[in-house]
Amino acid sequence: MHSTRKHSLVPLALVTFAAGLAAGCTVHAGYYDPYYHDRHPWGGETVYYQQWETDTHRHHEDFKKRNKDEQKEYWDWRHHQHPQ
């Protein structure tokens, strides 16, 4: 009986650990700016990104789908227009 109980706790522990890990990743989700060496949480970044698209007359596209040159243009604009 004890061995059955011990084995049933292992999956519960794994589920609990995985849920905590996933929640931790959500908190730290964002984009690392390799040009200015800082991290931007994307939740607060969307307003700036949409403004950049408007200011530069670009159609909307997910940031991660833009090519590296456009991503760099965004980070340059971001740090010059709205420094943190």
- Consecutive H or E run containing 40: strand 38-40
The DSSP secondary-structure symbol of 64 reads: G
pLDDT of residue 74: 94
How many residues are present in the chain? Answer: 84
pLDDT of residue 24: 44
Average pLDDT over residues 59-84: 92
Question: Which pTM was predicted?
Answer: 0.59
Q: Does pLDDT of 7 surpass 60?
A: no
Calpha distance 15→60 (Å, rounded): 38
- The two structure tokens encoding residue 5: 């109980």
